[in-house]
Structure 1
Amino acid sequence: MVATPTAPPQLARHVVMIVGSRGTSCTGTVVARDLVLTAAHCVQPGADYKLVSFDAARQPTLLDVASIARHPGFAMAELNGHRATADIALLKIAAPLPAAFVSARLAPATSAAVGDTFTVVGMGLAVRGDGRSGGTARAAVLVATGRPGSLQLRLHDPTTRGETAGAGACTGDSGAPVFTETSSGPAIAGVVSWSTGPKLAAGCGGLTGVTPLTSYRAWVVDTAQRLGTRLAAP
């Protein structure tokens, strides 16, 4: 996440880093001790993926992924055009995650409006292109802009409104959770799918594109059950 502080522990405990054998890096959300929610484009066929767990001394441990379920409606061509697609996937972990991770809840299926506030928590770069700042959970408070719908949300920093560089998703934040506040605390409303620089330029610090869970929540719940996992109560 660019231009953002370290995430508070109560949110950081929900996220994990995902690395691929082709040099990719993404963020996932722990939705059960053995299940992680992320973006489908983060876990494409033809590569191997692992989770990265950091201990108190920031030493990494690689965790094996047993299986991957991608939403069958995902289309990479649509994503590359910043258009709505089912950019949702679940990773079944070979062994339960360490106790430091806590399962996040799925938000109820609701619609968003312009100006609604969301908190994005990602493990990506703090400065685009620096190659060194990934692996730390950072949080950004962003607001919905444009025409929010059930298939795509566009978020921006309310102080810069996407016109100049501000807070937002960056490299490594794909798949990151987008939290909304509910009466029971933060819950996952969607996952990060893409980002832009200011004024829709390439890069980070402009728009953060989100795939809401509203249309895919049932798939997530049903797929988790098929994989033998019970999700946290809403």
Structure 2
Amino acid sequence: MRRSLLILSLSFLFPAASASALVGGAPPVQGPNGAVMIVGSRGNSCTGVAIARDLVLTAAHCVPPGADYKLVEFDARRQPKLRDTQSIARHPQFSQKTFDAHRATADVALVKVAGAGVPSPVHGERLKIAPGDRLTIWGYGLTRMGDGKSGGTLRSATLAVTGQPGNLQIRLMDPAARNERSGLGACTGDSGAPVFRDIGGRMMVVGVVSWSTAAGNEAGCGGLTGVTPLSLYYPWIVETAKKLGSPLAP
């Protein structure tokens, strides 16, 4: 399996025009929400989601040490505004070496920032997930692989669980394409994107996007979307949020 990292180059951050679809054709997210774009001084971009008024959840591989990070807001004219982050905490069990070797690791991080947005609730218990179950992702990534101008718009896709889901990794696919042809899925810039599940009538964050493949498990987008579930790491998220003075959304 040839997995792709989903970090968008900052040189492609600000689109000249709104794209029509995430990979395969997912619609933009409407209304207020806490999804954010995170950009780094090394030229990378990812997605995150507010889980408290001043705290963003994202993937650990999106915020490696040695760089500065900002959040991007867009006004009604799609003009970007950068906001400073205050601190970053990566899960202590995250291993970049393990991640680079395409193995599951604690790919979870928290970013402290003033006014993160509308917080989403996090589900901390182990999920009972079976192949065919539906999860929804939000991301600012590319809609067309290799076309940097197609990124920068928050879009949503509902995908189906495939394979043997567990507490270390969940794989998603477009139920219409079934990883046999290009379809909906995370793409470059969607690392750290929130993964939601309807639990008791509430859309709750249950994981973050870590990687993708093209159809047939080739490198790229539009095949599989790899998710790091949060159940194992929820105690760390709660404890770290308290230390940062940012209690989670109820």
- Confirm or deny a common fold (TM above 0.5): yes
Structure-1 separation of matches of 2:40 and 2:103: 24
Corresponding residue SS for 2:232: coil
The answer (yes or no) to whether the contact 1:178–1:188 under 8 Å persists in 2 is yes
Structure-2 separation of matches of 1:60 and 1:224: 28
Shift of 1:85: 0.4
Corresponding residue SS for 2:231: coil
Structure-1 separation of matches of 2:173 and 2:98: 21
Identify if the C-alpha distance between structure 1 residues 160 and 23 changes in structure 2 by more than 3 Å, giving closer, same or farther.
same
Gaps of 5+ in 1: none
Structure-2 separation of matches of 1:188 and 1:141: 14
- The equivalent residue for 2:193 is 176
- The equivalent residue for 1:212 is 229
- Aligned with 1:2 (options 12, 16, 23): 23
Q: State yes or no: 1:195 paired with 2:216.
A: no
For residues 162-217 of structure 1, what are the alpha-carbon distances to aligned partners after superposition, in whole Å with 9 as ceiling and x for unaligned? 11100000000000000000124210010000001111101000110000001111
Q: Which amino acid in the other structure matches residue 158 of structure 1?
A: P
- The equivalent residue for 1:69 is 89
- The equivalent residue for 2:73 is 53
Structure-2 separation of matches of 1:129 and 1:183: 39
- The equivalent residue for 1:89 is 109
For residues 76-107 of structure 1, what are the alpha-carbon distances to aligned partners after superposition, in whole Å with 9 as ceiling and x for unaligned? 222223321000000001x224xxx3100002
The answer (yes or no) to whether the contact 1:6–1:136 under 8 Å persists in 2 is no
- Aligned with 2:180 (options 147, 156, 163): 163
Gaps of 5+ in 2: 1-21
TM-score of the superposition, structure 2-length normalised? 0.88
Show the 5 A alignment for 1:58-137: 58-93=78-113, 95-97=114-116, 101-109=117-125, 110-137=127-154
- Aligned with 1:29 (options 41, 49, 53): 49
TM-score of the superposition, structure 1-length normalised? 0.94
Count of aligned pairs between the two proteins: 228
The answer (yes or no) to whether the contact 1:4–1:138 under 8 Å persists in 2 is no
